[in-house]
Every structure is written in structure tokens, then in C-alpha cells.
Structure 1
Amino acid sequence: MTPPSGGAGPLARLRVLGAGLRAPLHAEHRIALPFEQVWAVVADLEGELPHLIPFVREFRVAPGDSARKTARAVDVMGLRGDFEVRLGRGWCLMQSRLVTMGMAAEPDGDDGTRFAVCGAIRPAALGPVQHVYRRLLGERRARAFFREVERRAALR
């Protein structure tokens, strides 16, 4: 597998991103399904992201084959946010003015996938909110996210 850039693989890059952001949500998990099956769910941002993140009602990605795209998210209350998206094999980074979210995956043997997710609020002033989120919800939210990715990938 070719890493998204440089010598580091997608999971290593996401670990660095999470550490740099002091991300309240950063977790890794092994999914007992082939990489292609798992990544098909993750890479289908328009079709799957609203199922994976409970507060996202819609995620529209601009058409095209470019690894760099723009997207618009609409939350369950109708608020909209514009995102810059970088999407490649095993790597997805989505950034808005307020949020950074990343997902990474690598094959793990013939029948498994190492998958990771990372999320953070961008404005530094919201740092205390991130610390509270990490303690109260971070791990539980990550487990729910992994369960839903695995469930939806198993349907493919």
C-alpha cells in the first residue's frame, strides 16, 4: 500500500495529527473485515458519514476525482459548515473553520483492517471544552463509531 505522502503510513500520520491537535477523540481498533470492504464505507462520505456521526444529517462533497475536495455538512439542527476534504486510499482528512476530523486505515493480515479516527475542535479558546469531552465522551463515542463502521462494512 502506498502511504498518502512521505514514508509514514496512514495510521502513523493520524497519530501525529491527533497528538498535535490534542484531539479529544483519537482511537484505533481492529475490524475483522478486509480493508477494501471497510474503506468502501469510510470513503463514501456522502452516503455513509450521516450514518457514522449522529449529529450530521447531510454531507455533500463537490463532484470530481481530485484527492482535494470541498464539502458542506449540515447538522441535525440545520447548521451548515464548509469543509476541505483530502481523501485517498486509507486516508481521509476533513477540516472546517471549527472542526478537524481524520480517519485512517491499513490492511491487517488477509482478513482484517486497522482503523483509526481522530477529531478535534480547532479554535484554541475551546480547549477546555475538548478536555471535558475527552473525559466524558471520547472513548464511548469512538467505540460507537467503530461499531457502526464495522456494521455498515459487513453489509457490503
Structure 2
Amino acid sequence: MMAQMLMERSILEEETDRVMQGAKQLFCKYAKCENVWMEVCTKVAAAALVSVVAVDNLWLCVAITLGMALVIGLAQPFAQSQMNVLQSSCFACLALAAVGFRHHMALARLALAVPFVLLVLQLRRPDSQEMLALRLQQELEAKIHEGPVEVSAEQFT
């Protein structure tokens, strides 16, 4: 999967196709370019949530948000693993907040604070293997034209 991601990124970096240059920011959010369906899925879920909240249907709201949390958690579509965890937990917390707004306000407040706590915890270790691979690829592309390049990568835990 990582090799496919790197190959797709190098194709997107070529400046010959204007359409690809315009879509580069959208495509680069995802681990593979074929995961752009998640963008559509997220927009549909947001529109569905707005209409469900307007008619005050709690359990349909919970079903949509938990469904999105499950889809993101299982598909892992984003290039950054931290983004997958954060998006999935945000949708799960939205489901808890919806129940909390109906039954107990303290649950809603707690559920809305959890993503911020998770983000702070993720800031302690902001890197992932995918982002390391992208940085190595960018650094090597700059040096490859100069001649042979020796690569050595170490991971510290």
C-alpha cells in the first residue's frame, strides 16, 4: 500500500497535467487516490446529519455518526494514520454528544472534549510511517539528479 501511495504522489507531482495539479490537494489527503470516495461519503453524511437534526431524530443521528466512525475506522482512507483515528473518534463522540444532549448534558460536554484530548495526545507523537516515506521520497527526488544516493533510515521509539 505504501508503494502505491508513493507512486501516486510522484505522478501527482508531475506538472504536465493541469487537472491533476488542481486535484492534487484533494488526492494527497488520502493514502491511495482511489479513496476519494471518502470525501463524497463525508459530505453526504454531513448533509444527512443536518437534515436529521432538523427533524429531531436522535437514533438516526446516532446511526449516521456511528456508521461513519465505523467506515473510517475500517477503511483507514487517510494518508496520516493519526487522521484516521481522529476522524473516527470524532464521529463516535458526535454520537455520544447527540445522546448526551437528549439525556444528560454532562455526557455531551465530555464527548465534545474527547477529540481535543486525543489531538493533544497525538501531538506527542506526530509522525507516522507513511509521512516518513513521503519525506524520504521528496528528499531523494531532489538529490537523485546529482548522482548515486545512499539511503539510511532509522526509527526511534
- Does the TM-score normalized on the shorter chain lie above 0.5? no
Judging by fraction of residues, say which structure has more strand: 1
Question: Which entry has the higher C-alpha Rg, 1 or 2?
Answer: 2
Q: State the structure with bigger RCO (CA 8 A, min sep 6), 1 or 2.
A: 1
